[in-house]
Structure 1
């Protein structure tokens, strides 16, 4: 479920009638169409928002996305949710896939922004994104994301930032290259003509030139002070005396004028202003609840007509806010005159927000009122929804706002505190919180017996978290123990707890390599999630269960699960996890040799958008697409996509049975980059003499490929002996745990190893056993064909000697339809499309790191591309490569 968005923050403020026209500033804003950023930066009360609202409302044909920011948007997920929602409202289609990714933890800002930038690039017309009150957002990560967005925006998209303080962005650099338009306090101050127009025409005061000049000089064109002065002057007889006494710095001017304005209001209006000022956004019923009155809506209409610094937030005049400066003055006055009322008013606001299911605001006002017990109660009520919406940052902020002893008194919040530490990697620090929660549960006596379902569920949740701790530590027995405790505690109808416990039992067995034991437990977990009606978790768990069936050598069962999941996922909107099912089917189709269908599933997954994918599985789309690219012969692009997958991978409770780094190493082996793969093995600590374990199996099978490649290159007999010995140990381990899928790959590599040693009969024997022992040998194709020319030669020989029945013939027939083998060492071949793209950037002025950022690849990947380009062009320097490419007509 996406995080709720306050719609009124996305409205362009309504432009008032009678505003002073300011064509000189409109011209500055128009120049923003020629730059990446327009910065409107000035202190409070200089009319920044009014200027932008008037300019955008002048009838020009502009596509505008507006966001009114507040301090709550300092959390990156909240900030970018509003930005993307505003863009989507202005330009339908842009950002439609972002909500699910924005709900993920940790938040991958650059991935969200990359998607948005790419979608904006396809928009035909001008787009303006306006961020009002940016100074209220205080977060370096937000500033970093804004810098990334501004650096990559297409030329027809422009950003306007309104702020009281310059943001932490590379303004100097953009200013130097003409990419920044600035409107500052000196620009915003009223000129003498504008001052006269405002005071005499907009405000209708009829002042003479001397008084206008004096007020303009004393205020230095500060619009808020002029506005306050105009209000104070209404009905005043001694205009000249007032103007003469008007002096002081900004703070004193505001205090003086606020007193003048407030003193001219009736007691009822003044009381309403002071009491309602505790609210950030105001509407009639909320004001009634806070002030204790019954005329809030009528009062707001009257205040707006009287120009008492009230800003409408919607078209229907239901929601408003006070001018920030005026609100600050009112709050200071309230605290000075009625300090005892401040907590009472915030408590009333908290109760109203609670009744209207606005938990975040209810908690915030309870915290401001220092009503800790109420805040804890509200948090406990909100935790399930907040966790379901993945508002992790909000939970963390709440816990930080509470004293530790208040958190410890709440079993539920103690569990949340422990969970927060656990997911941040502070495993040892998390455990005491779970201990404390259990002790708190034992001491609960307010009508809740130790046997109550509520407490049993909480204890089961604690046990599930402890299972997660053990799983993260690689403690398989501990994971199993805690999962069984959770299963014992869960009631018969507590499907979520039972599903979680069964899931961890299945994951523990899988991590240990016991697929035969993992399958029934995880099947039970998926069934429990189905019974609980939790479709999203059911779909993501289906992907994991399908992986287990693949490990068991039963791709047909995995395919059946994926199709059943897609049938359950039918609906509008498309549930999260649907795209992951298509990715799974793509991997099955690619392995079976149906490349067309594999690509179609990936295209469907991409079209569904990010919201249709589970955050911790999202990296698998890039894995699948990378393997498709490698199958098509573009190993460089395949490596880039795997590199992107590695960046997106989120380490969690799922066993890492196919490390992406090892997949990248296999691509490097196919490219002949054996030195790079040797470095990977050294850094990873992978050796042929290792003891075998399931979680190292993929690494070890990659090491075998490296040893075979070394032998083929350097006739390293010792390497082959190590490879054969490692394969024997891996085969024994896989044979006792139901991992028939692993045995297929191990037998295949045994055949290659024996063939590399010149033992063709033993290679035939291993190949024959692959096909005879595999439960579904027809489901495997790319596993063999991706080994390239050596495997093709072995299959041809096997066919001639009638080894493996029809399987060798089938694989050869599939292999003839497309070539997935990269050029061998010494046979450079033509430049790939990706290498041409790199070459064009090399011909420019960008540095290596800058080119890598433009291509969204690591610097190491860029160096690999450059190395291949140099080899193919037979040069050794960047300048020589560019010159050679031009001579060949490549640039």
Structure 2
């Protein structure tokens, strides 16, 4: 959600001067900050919001309170988390910069965004309280899943408070058992006899003890009933008669008391209350428009002064809302009032005001409430392009069932907008039928005169784009259903139908064609299609999408063994961003791609530098999959340096934040993790991986699973390293099948990897002639582009393999370069150990911990330490805790002091 936010939702309600201070309730809320979650759960009218607001304003503890007043418009996870992140950005402004683009880049909030949010919160050095008021209005499985994840990983100094009418769909039982939940319920919020008497006294209502007892007993300490009773009792002579009639359950009490309050208001105030009750939020100009009068701002200020259940939503008193319970009853009275204007008329006025004010979503909502589907459809049609651009597809989907199908059929531009929204959130079951209906409407249509066919169009240019978009979404649906031939057929129709200047549609068609070729393993065709897609995207000015496609183009060139072409493509992408501030989404992916190229060439320092650049830009400067990919790249850097434990930890994070999309996952994170396990001889764990993913040497070979099958070959070879091993022949046969399939597909990067495995397998089987031939082929494949990694991955075998070559071959510069790289570089199979002779510690610090300790003596912050070390912030924290534990200290300053005492800050050890 990148559209405008209602800033009034972040306003902490200001308690009125006459609000009764209830230390008992505030003490309960104070106790809650020692747990992860405070749940304030009670039905309407029990004073949840007032209690929370009073507590917030009375808090003496340092730190920030982020407040968010939720409403029914926040039910989409993307909208909900956008508001949450924005509220918390007061504590750390970088949260908006780093997290919001991650939310906007997918159709639902992802663990990638929540992980980045948690990392940002963990960096804070002061307490933070997040209050979510009226949570019941947004409670759903999608939102609850994210909130549960947030709760499970909250840093200890961050506390969540939820105010709700019903218990949320969260693991409350688990939180109770762990002592991580404090519950405040209706029984806790009810006014005690003493509190009720004090409230009545401060409100100027003087009852004798018997009358006070009647009121306290009838209201049962219910805050809303007490407040309404006070309004009714003020300046009343017949107190006894009023109390005698005052009975019934909660709802009847409210109905009765609101009627009493309304009957005591001047006619103009009563009419104002009833007519404006249709509004979720109130401002002077909006109320004037709805009531068809003037003086709305003055009336709102008067209502607030008179405590008529009006809640200010900003410090300037420009926006208000009614107390929810009061508004409910007002609406019921308004709908039954025969003397007032029709509710539809009031909603029509509100819709017109919101439309003129540039708030299309609210304008549509009131048009629908008015029952004016034609106006609502017109407003939707003009709003959808901006909503799609701002990734608010869920809003569009919420409209789909609100407009009768016959109205949609008469509006082809609206109909294709609905299809776009449904496709974006993967609600695809109805898409074929909708596209069939659209094509039937468009058949024989003259775009110059749609009205002749009974059609309604707000923008004629948009109508001309509909036929191409129909074919585009047919292609997308075919791809989703694995109909690759159908995808290409509809792509061809889309490109031939779309106008020459309809660059987004043409770009989408080329991209879908590329994806279909990619799934089939035709990567040169994929490269061609994505190149055409980039051309159209550049004409459309969609820079971030250009960078996303550039990442794919580079990946393809790496797969083809063309590292220089990949490097040029990535540098070209960076050149497009050189003058853009802030860095467009996708910029960080360019650096991650360059780091991958450097890793293939064994240039570890260059790879680390590019990863640092990517980290400095932040995950917000990356496409949806960047969060996972940058962690994979960091892991490969750490593994190349010998830090396998860190690498595995990073890969676990990468799996957690991975965001699937249309692109085939040709390098799954779990397979990369299996490769590190194999290198560490943790073969049982690697075999469990192969079993979990149902990998067998007899599998049909496909490009999509090629990386996994090569990993399986590594595992089989690792378990069959002797000539007598029964599985070695099977392994070599499997490698031959892989070699032939990969060579036929022109994927020479993978071919080099398999050729080296064949050389090692032949060596293990004593077939020295075959081993030498495979090595020679690997050398020929690697030399032009300077591939080093496939050789350093087999550093232990390379000297024996090279010995099989002729003396002349052994002396070639490239062979000597590879041998030097294998002898000097660290490998995942032989992690380095730190000398401990000088440490004088029972449990010596590892080399990595010593490096962290030296950096702790600098002024670098936690995130800066992570960037310098090319690890995640969580990994830095783990190392820091280990350093503190081994040194016997509990803080950074103490660790540095102790390190100086032990002379551990020198960069070199004897």
Q: TM-score, normalised by structure 2?
A: 0.83
The answer to whether the 8 Å contact 1:512/1:694 transfers is yes
Alpha-carbon distance in structure 1 between the residues aligned to 2:673 and 2:362: 47
User: Could you say which residue in structure 1 is the equivalent of 2:569?
Assistant: 561
Alpha-carbon distance in structure 2 between the residues aligned to 1:503 and 1:331: 51
- Per the alignment, do residues 405 and 205 of structure 1 end up closer, same or farther by CA in structure 2, a change over 3 Å counting? same
SS at match of 2:40: strand
SS at match of 2:443: helix
SS at match of 1:224: helix
Alpha-carbon distance in structure 2 between the residues aligned to 1:320 and 1:736: 69
Alpha-carbon distance in structure 2 between the residues aligned to 1:409 and 1:69: 36
Deviations 1:710-761 (A, max 9, x none): 43157347643x5555555555555555434344334333433433333334
Alpha-carbon distance in structure 2 between the residues aligned to 1:259 and 1:697: 73
The answer to whether the 8 Å contact 2:587/2:622 transfers is yes
The answer to whether the 8 Å contact 1:411/1:436 transfers is no
Mean Cα deviation higher: 69-78 or 700-709: 700-709
Deviations 1:599-622 (A, max 9, x none): 333233234333222114432223
Deviations 1:82-120 (A, max 9, x none): 222111123434464221222344535544333333332
User: Could you say which residue in structure 2 is the equivalent of 1:783?
Assistant: 790
Match of 1:594 among 584, 603, 607: 603
User: Could you say which residue in structure 2 is the equivalent of 1:190?
Assistant: 191
- Per the alignment, do residues 225 and 677 of structure 1 end up closer, same or farther by CA in structure 2, a change over 3 Å counting? closer
The answer to whether the 8 Å contact 1:303/1:310 transfers is yes
Q: Does 1:815 align with 2:816?
A: no
Q: Does 1:369 align with 2:370?
A: yes
Alpha-carbon distance in structure 1 between the residues aligned to 2:58 and 2:712: 67
Deviations 1:191-216 (A, max 9, x none): 34433433333x33444454444333
Q: Does 1:579 align with 2:588?
A: yes
Q: Does 1:627 align with 2:636?
A: yes
Cα shift at 1:332? 0.4
Q: Does 1:398 align with 2:405?
A: no
User: Could you say which residue in structure 2 is the equivalent of 1:888?
Assistant: none
Alpha-carbon distance in structure 1 between the residues aligned to 2:351 and 2:332: 21
Alpha-carbon distance in structure 1 between the residues aligned to 2:32 and 2:688: 50
Alpha-carbon distance in structure 1 between the residues aligned to 2:460 and 2:604: 55
Write the mapping of 1:25-424 to structure 2, written as runs, cut at 5 A.
Answer: 25-58=25-58, 60=60, 61-94=62-95, 96-105=97-106, 107-175=108-176, 178-201=179-202, 203-338=203-338, 341-415=342-416, 418=419
Q: Does 1:537 align with 2:549?
A: no
The answer to whether the 8 Å contact 1:95/1:115 transfers is no
Cα shift at 1:808? 1.8
The answer to whether the 8 Å contact 1:42/1:184 transfers is yes
RMSD of aligned residue pairs (Cα, Å): 3.3
Q: Which residues of structure 1 form unaligned runs of 5+?
A: 825-829, 837-891
Deviations 1:47-91 (A, max 9, x none): 221222222223734411101111222332222222221111234
- Per the alignment, do residues 220 and 649 of structure 1 end up closer, same or farther by CA in structure 2, a change over 3 Å counting? closer
The answer to whether the 8 Å contact 2:10/2:66 transfers is yes
- Per the alignment, do residues 97 and 560 of structure 1 end up closer, same or farther by CA in structure 2, a change over 3 Å counting? same
User: Could you say which residue in structure 2 is the equivalent of 1:16?
Assistant: 16
User: Could you say which residue in structure 1 is the equivalent of 2:903?
Assistant: none
User: Could you say which residue in structure 2 is the equivalent of 1:859?
Assistant: none
Cα shift at 1:835? 15
- Per the alignment, do residues 652 and 150 of structure 1 end up closer, same or farther by CA in structure 2, a change over 3 Å counting? closer
The answer to whether the 8 Å contact 1:740/1:775 transfers is no
User: Could you say which residue in structure 2 is the equivalent of 1:469?
Assistant: 477
Mean Cα deviation higher: 649-658 or 543-552: 649-658
The answer to whether the 8 Å contact 1:580/1:618 transfers is no
Mean Cα deviation higher: 18-27 or 628-637: 628-637
The answer to whether the 8 Å contact 2:562/2:785 transfers is no
Alpha-carbon distance in structure 1 between the residues aligned to 2:225 and 2:690: 69
Mean Cα deviation higher: 605-614 or 302-311: 605-614
SS at match of 1:248: coil
- Per the alignment, do residues 814 and 150 of structure 1 end up closer, same or farther by CA in structure 2, a change over 3 Å counting? same
The answer to whether the 8 Å contact 1:637/1:834 transfers is no
The answer to whether the 8 Å contact 1:275/1:290 transfers is yes
Alpha-carbon distance in structure 2 between the residues aligned to 1:515 and 1:831: 50
- Per the alignment, do residues 835 and 680 of structure 1 end up closer, same or farther by CA in structure 2, a change over 3 Å counting? farther
Alpha-carbon distance in structure 2 between the residues aligned to 1:365 and 1:78: 20
Mean Cα deviation higher: 186-195 or 353-362: 186-195
- Per the alignment, do residues 206 and 684 of structure 1 end up closer, same or farther by CA in structure 2, a change over 3 Å counting? closer
Alpha-carbon distance in structure 1 between the residues aligned to 2:806 and 2:816: 6
Q: Which residues of structure 2 form unaligned runs of 5+?
A: 454-458, 832-842, 850-910
The answer to whether the 8 Å contact 1:75/1:139 transfers is no
- Per the alignment, do residues 290 and 467 of structure 1 end up closer, same or farther by CA in structure 2, a change over 3 Å counting? same
- Per the alignment, do residues 787 and 460 of structure 1 end up closer, same or farther by CA in structure 2, a change over 3 Å counting? farther
Q: TM-score, normalised by structure 1?
A: 0.85
Cα shift at 1:510? 3.8
Deviations 1:460-483 (A, max 9, x none): 222222222333344443332222
User: Could you say which residue in structure 1 is the equivalent of 2:870?
Assistant: none
Cα shift at 1:30? 2.3
Alpha-carbon distance in structure 1 between the residues aligned to 2:700 and 2:327: 69
User: Could you say which residue in structure 1 is the equivalent of 2:515?
Assistant: 507
Deviations 1:29-56 (A, max 9, x none): 2222322232323322222212222222
The answer to whether the 8 Å contact 1:75/1:393 transfers is yes
Alpha-carbon distance in structure 2 between the residues aligned to 1:366 and 1:834: 67
Cα shift at 1:406? 4.5
User: Could you say which residue in structure 1 is the equivalent of 2:809?
Assistant: 802
Cα shift at 1:521? 3.1
Cα shift at 1:317? 0.2
Alpha-carbon distance in structure 1 between the residues aligned to 2:557 and 2:685: 33
Alpha-carbon distance in structure 1 between the residues aligned to 2:403 and 2:848: 55
Cα shift at 1:803? 4.4
Alpha-carbon distance in structure 1 between the residues aligned to 2:812 and 2:752: 16
Cα shift at 1:233? 2.7
- Per the alignment, do residues 831 and 807 of structure 1 end up closer, same or farther by CA in structure 2, a change over 3 Å counting? farther
Write the mapping of 1:473-872 to structure 2, written as runs, cut at 5 A.
Answer: 473-570=481-578, 571-674=580-683, 677=686, 686-688=695-697, 692-713=701-722, 715-716=724-725, 719-720=728-729, 722-724=730-732, 727-728=735-736, 730-731=738-739, 733-735=741-743, 738-774=746-782, 776-778=784-786, 780-795=787-802, 797-798=804-805, 800-803=807-810, 805-822=812-829
SS at match of 2:227: helix
Deviations 1:616-638 (A, max 9, x none): 44322232223223323344543
